[in-house]
Amino acid sequence: MLALARSRGMKFSRYMRMIDEEHLREMSNNLNQLSNNHERLDGLVRRFILLCRQDVVAISACAPGTQQKREELQEVAWKAIGQAVEYSKSEEAAQNAFARLMALRVLGYLIRTGLAIQDSKDRNFIEDLVEKLEGSHDEWAAQTKAGDAKKTK
């Protein structure tokens, strides 16, 4: 390292400060990205649940005029599915196996609920899936918050 510092025409202490600053900047960027993955998934799942609950009767019956709402639900579902996959592959999920399992459970309920809506299943079936999705999402959120609390201690 001393040779590297000299080759750049710097004092060793100045070179080490520069390396530390770069390392801290990189760590900060990584933490922000992990936090964004978590927040994006959380927001998309909450939005999907809210859209499902708003008009589940009309959506499940494939009533006239609900095509736009069904398309919006499908778009949100695909975004949430993609984000759940990204989150489950992330470093944050790798450090907490139970949180990864819960994220994959959320992913499964997202897919099942989306398919049930596309297949025009009955209202009770869809409501049951939405409740299971909401429960698994809440459990995932609680688990990731508990993991975050352990990291800050």
* pLDDT-derived band at 137, boundaries 50, 70, 90: very high
- CA 129 to chain centroid: 19
Residue 152's pLDDT is what? 47
Q: What is the pTM of this model?
A: 0.66
Q: Which region among 28-37, 96-105, 107-116 has the lowest average model confidence (pLDDT)? A: 28-37
DSSP 55: S
Q: What is the pLDDT of residues 32-86, one digit of tens each?
A: 555 577 788 888 888 888 888 777 666 666 666 667 777 888 888 888 888 888 8
CA distances, 61 to each of 37, 72, 115, 124 (Å): 34, 16, 14, 11
CATH number of 2-152: 1.20.120
Question: CB 6: neighbour CB atoms within 10 A?
Answer: 12
Q: What tokens does 3 get?
A: 């040779």
Q: What is the pLDDT of residues 5-19, one digit of tens each?
A: 778 788 888 877 777
